[in-house]
Amino acid sequence: MNFYIVIPAHNEADFIAKTLESLVSQTLQPKSVVVVNDNSTDDTQAIVTKFIKQHHYISIVNIESSNSHLPGSKIINAFYKGFDTLDDNYDIVCKFDADLIFPENYLETLVKHFQSNKMIGMAAGYCYIEQKNIWIREKITGKDHIRGALKAYTKKCFLDIGMLKKDIGWDTIDEILAKFYKWDILLDDDLKVKHLKPTGANYTKQAKLLQGEAMYKMRYGFVLTFILGVYNAFKRSDFGTFNSFVSGYLKARKNNFEPFVSKEQGEFVRRERWKGFRKKLGF
Q: What is the pLDDT of residues 84-122, one digit of tens each?
A: 999 999 999 999 999 999 999 999 999 999 999 999 999
Res 142: pLDDT: 66
CATH class of 3-195: alpha beta
Distance between CA atoms of 176 and 186, rounded to whole angstroms?
Answer: 13
Asked if 31 contacts 4 with a C-beta cutoff of 8 angstroms, the reply is: yes
Res 241: pLDDT: 85
Res 200: pLDDT: 54
What angle do helix axes 222-236 and 239-254 make, rounded to 10 degrees?
160
Residues in a beta bridge with 57: none
Asked if 55 contacts 113 with a C-beta cutoff of 8 angstroms, the reply is: no
Residues in a beta bridge with 212: none
Which of 117, 183, 112 lies closest to 153, judged by CA? 183
φ/ψ of residue 26, rounded to 5: -65, 145
Which of 56, 87, 74, 58 lies closest to 8, judged by CA? 74
Domain with CATH 3.90.550.10 in the chain: 3-195
pTM above 0.85, yes or no: yes
Question: Which residues, given as ranges, of the chain have pLDDT below 50?
Answer: 201
Res 101: pLDDT: 98
Q: Is the dihedral of CA 279, 280, 282, 283 positive or negative?
A: negative
